Amino acid sequence: MIRDRRAKIVATVGPASAAPDMLRRLFENGVDTFRLNFSHGEHATHAEVIAAIRALEAETGTPIGILQDLQGPKIRLGKLQGGARMVDRGERLFFRSADSTGTDDLPLPHPEIFAAIRPGGRLFIDDGRVRLRVVSHSADRIEAEVLEGGKLSDRKGVNLPDTVLDLPVLTEKDRRDLEFGLAQGVDWVALSFVQKASDLDEITRIIDGRAGLVAKIEKPSALSEIEAIVRKADAIMVARGDLGVEIPPEEVPARQKEIIALCRRESRPVIVATQMLESMTSAPAPTRAEASDVATAIYDGADAVMLSAESATGAYPVETVAVMDRIIRSTEAHDFYARAISASREPAATPADAIAESGAVLASALGARAIVAYSRSGSTAARIAARRPFLPLIVLTRDIRISRRMALLWDARSLTEESVQDYDSMVRTAVETCRSLLKPAAQDHIVILSGVPFGQSGTTNNIRVASFG
């Protein structure tokens, strides 16, 4: 299936969308990659969903991506006496490191917070609905002043925007989930709450090339190391939920643009996520502001936009995907889109980038019907996509895992081709594939990027113009 758009759609699977028939409808209406949120659900349930997606892939002949999103070290309050309490602005509260204090002190069973927090540091509870500032602290007790009051209740999430915590990057649950996901053949693994570039080292060793690694940017500390994080990751997710809690909301749009531009410069796919069409969890149509938000991500040059609760638990999952598809296609069809993307194009940074850019420029100058990348690892395709050439990008690869990862990449249509043995047969296969997919005229051309010697990963150094006549 070839979509009539360039940006991709990622949809989260949940109770509203896990049935095989619903997965099919979501795919038919525009989903390219399915996200499995491992903060919820049992392994057996996730295995059933993965099997259904792979069956759908086999039936349609279209590679479909699966993204496993690990929960990460989520920080929460313990159980409060009475289950809940109201707090007022100006009130002084005390937190204890015990899970249950037996007093009016609030349980915060995370000793690493007490070791790292400093006076003046802020605590945001329940997605920032209640906000506090630390007045004083000891090894097991924190005194804080309420800046914004509200209701506190059991197990609500806690954000600490001013504090870098010494937390395990992978919890024991994450390790079990990761082992399961890799055994199931997921295509991408998303690491939550990345604080610094070194957080990616251990999981990179564990994955060992079996999946692509997505670094989720949702902590202010990650922004200070964003260039190093982007270079170490295989893809980036701008997770605006927690990020929008921990930094002022007025800063989020500019940060989104900065991260997308950086990812394009480093040839990394980038996903914009969280609350894109949030009102459609309970309404059949989005707000105008939500439609504008999706369009803004597309104008910024995002590879993909993501649905969370809208497709996982919402009342209108199919309609939400269809609306997102229409917004993307309408945005990409506007004259301003091409101008905006071209104006934000980053210059080539490496020899490999220069080859990709040269191929894209040549294809555009010739008015080529398509660009074809033969890629063993997907890196050549990512470099071409980062140039945003506004021509169909056909990716040929021997590895079905790479084909599935291309379902996250801007404008990439990937096919697995195992019969190609040498350079000449690769050129013939590229021509015949484009002839089948695109129905070109005899005088049309395609531009092919590959490597010589043929078939070696990381050797893209050849540009070939081929015709259909």
Strand partners, 131: 124, 148
Phi and psi dihedrals of 383, rounded to 5? Answer: -65, -40
Looking up tokens 């190093």 gives: 228
Query: Is pLDDT of 103 > 90?
Result: no
pLDDT tens digit sequence for 450-463? 887 666 666 678 89
User: Which listed residue (24, 25, 54, 76) is catalytic?
Assistant: 76
User: Which listed residue (6, 216, 257, 376) is catalytic?
Assistant: 216
What is residue 367's DSSP assignment? T
Q: Check if CATH label 3.40.1380.20 holds for domain 351-467.
A: yes
pLDDT at residue 457, as a whole number: 66
Domain 8-72+169-343 fold is: TIM Barrel (3.20.20)
Question: Three-state SS for 358?
Answer: helix
pLDDT tens digit sequence for 425-443? 989 999 999 999 999 999 9
The percentage of residues in the chain with a pLDDT greater than 70, rounded to a whole number, is 97
CATH homologous superfamily, domain 84-159: PK beta-barrel domain-like (2.40.33.10)
d(CA 415, CA 435): 14
What mean pLDDT do residues 392-405 have? 95
Decide if 61 contacts 415 (C-beta within 8 A).
Answer: no
Burial class (CB in 10 A: 0-12, 13-18, 19+), 436: exposed
Which of 393, 221, 225 lies closest to 303, judged by CA? 393
Decide if 415 contacts 388 (C-beta within 8 A).
Answer: no
pLDDT at residue 380, as a whole number: 92
What mean pLDDT do residues 338-343 have? 85
What mean pLDDT do residues 359-372 have? 95
pLDDT tens digit sequence for 196-246? 999 999 999 999 999 999 999 999 999 999 999 999 999 999 999 889 888
Among this protein's residues, is 155 annotated catalytic? Answer: no
Band the pLDDT of 181: cuts 50, 70, 90.
very high
The torsion angle over the Cα atoms of residues 52, 57, 63 and 66, rounded to 10 degrees, is 0
Position 200: which residue type?
Answer: L
User: Which listed residue (101, 274, 433, 460) is catalytic?
Assistant: 274
Among this protein's residues, is 76 annotated catalytic? Answer: yes
Position 448: which residue type?
Answer: I
Domain edges within the chain: 8-72+169-343, 84-159, 351-467
Q: Which residues of 159-177 are buried (b: 16+ CB within 10 A; e: fewer)?
A: bbbbbebebebbbeebeeb
Q: In sequence order, what DSSP letters do the residues of 282-348 get, joined into one string?
A: TSSS--HHHHHHHHHHHHHT-SEEEESHHHHT-S-HHHHHHHHHHHHHHHHHSHHHHHHHHHTPPPP
pLDDT at residue 258, as a whole number: 96
Q: Which residues of 270-289 are buried (b: 16+ CB within 10 A; e: fewer)?
A: bbbbbbbbbbbbeeeebeee
What tokens were used for 196? Answer: 């610094």
Among this protein's residues, is 60 annotated catalytic? Answer: no
Band the pLDDT of 98: cuts 50, 70, 90.
confident
pLDDT tens digit sequence for 236-294? 999 998 898 889 999 999 999 999 999 999 999 999 999 999 999 999 999 999 999 99
What tokens were used for 14? Answer: 């949940």
Element (H, E) at 374: strand 370-374
Contacts of 280 (CB under 8 A, 6+ apart): 286, 290, 310, 314, 316, 319, 320, 323
Among this protein's residues, is 6 annotated catalytic? Answer: no
User: Which listed residue (35, 240, 369, 388) is catalytic?
Assistant: 35
Query: Is pLDDT of 306 > 80?
Result: yes
Band the pLDDT of 1: cuts 50, 70, 90.
low
Query: Is pLDDT of 2 > 80?
Result: no
pTM: 0.92
